[in-house]
Amino acid sequence: MNFKGKVAIVTGAGSERGIGRETANILAKLGATVVIGDMNLEGAKKAALEIEKVGGKALAVSLNVTDEVSVSNMVDLVVNTYGRIDILVNNAGITQPIKTLDMSVEDFNRILNVNLLGTFICSKKVIPEMAKNNFGRIINMSSVSGKRGGGVYGGSHYSAAKAGILGFSKALAREVVANGITVNSVCPGLVATDIRQGLSDETERAIWETIPMKRPGTTSEIGYTVAFLASDEAAYITGEDIDVNGGSHMD
């Protein structure tokens, strides 16, 4: 895979041990210029610095994916700086381990907004730039929770948002295929990142036992799957979702 000359935006890539951060590292290593968009600007700056330290090209941007103005500002900055956008990884996400009956409307909206509305807003703002070059790759971060229900860290709102991403991706894929843009999703299973805050080692081990491969996935295993979907080699794949879950869910 070679991303030389390509410009990629990865949202939620500021988290030190996160999937987005590793995806950004991989895309940069393979030649892409990477834009790290995150609410956590300090984290985004660190991520960009790390990429530059090893000879890559990166730009840190303060971003709230739920805010249209914030997303538009990022898109304008990227286009003014690099002149193009080729790849969008809608990775920013939050979760909340809570039962449905304990969930407030605010909880439900917050989880839907970051995971699902954010994916819509970022895609909507980036697609016109991709269409100018008749090329684009959008990769949306769903989850095994969106297919199976009962996420380890997430409640029903998280499952709903991640399932929503799958439907959104397929519908969007049909709309933008004429513009040379593909839209696909990745569904990770358990991955050891900061999203697991508060999960005890004991609970985590118990979860491993339910996974056929008896271990969590790594951020790199997710990142390379994203990179494949972003590559020229994946040109004939659209509206698809790829499970990366050690066999914990098969469909």
Ligand X SMILES: NC(=O)c1ccc[n+]([C@@H]2O[C@H](COP(=O)([O-])OP(=O)(O)OC[C@H]3O[C@@H](n4cnc5c(N)ncnc54)[C@H](O)[C@@H]3O)[C@@H](O)[C@H]2O)c1
Selected binder of ligand X within 1, 79, 94, 103 (CB under 6 A):
94
Q: How far is the CB of 154 from ligand X (least distance, A)?
A: 8
Q: Which is nearer to ligand X, 155 or 188 (CB)?
A: 188
Selected binder of ligand X within 7, 10, 20, 241 (CB under 6 A):
20
Q: Give the closest residue to 43 by CA, choosing from 51, 54, 31, 55.
A: 51
Q: Render 151-177 in DSSP notation, one character per residue.
A: -SS--HHHHHHHHHHHHHHHHHHHHHG
Residue 88 host element (H or E): strand 87-90
Contact characters 34-63, ligand X, x per CB under 6 A: ----xxx--x-------------------x
Q: Give the closest residue to 141 by CA, choosing from 123, 165, 117.
A: 165
Partnered with residue 61 across adjacent β-strands are: 37
Selected binder of ligand X within 194, 202, 209, 251 (CB under 6 A):
194
Torsion angle of C-alpha atoms 10, 14, 18, 24, degrees rounded to 10: 40
User: What is the distance between the alpha carbons of residues 94 and 12, in angstroms, rounded to a whole number?
Assistant: 10
- Residue 191 binding ligand X, by CB under 6 A: yes
- Residue 141 binding ligand X, by CB under 6 A: yes
Q: How far is the CB of 124 from ligand X (least distance, A)?
A: 15
Q: Which of 82, 153, 158, 236 is catalytic?
A: 158
Selected binder of ligand X within 184, 193, 231, 248 (CB under 6 A):
193
User: What is the distance between the alpha carbons of residues 78 and 59, in angstroms, rounded to a whole number?
Assistant: 9
- Residue 119 binding ligand X, by CB under 6 A: no
- Catalytic residue status for 158: yes
Active site residues: 158
Under the rule (CB under 6 A), what is the footprint of ligand X?
A: 11-12, 14-15, 18-20, 38-40, 43, 63-66, 91-95, 114, 118, 141, 143, 188, 190-191, 193-195
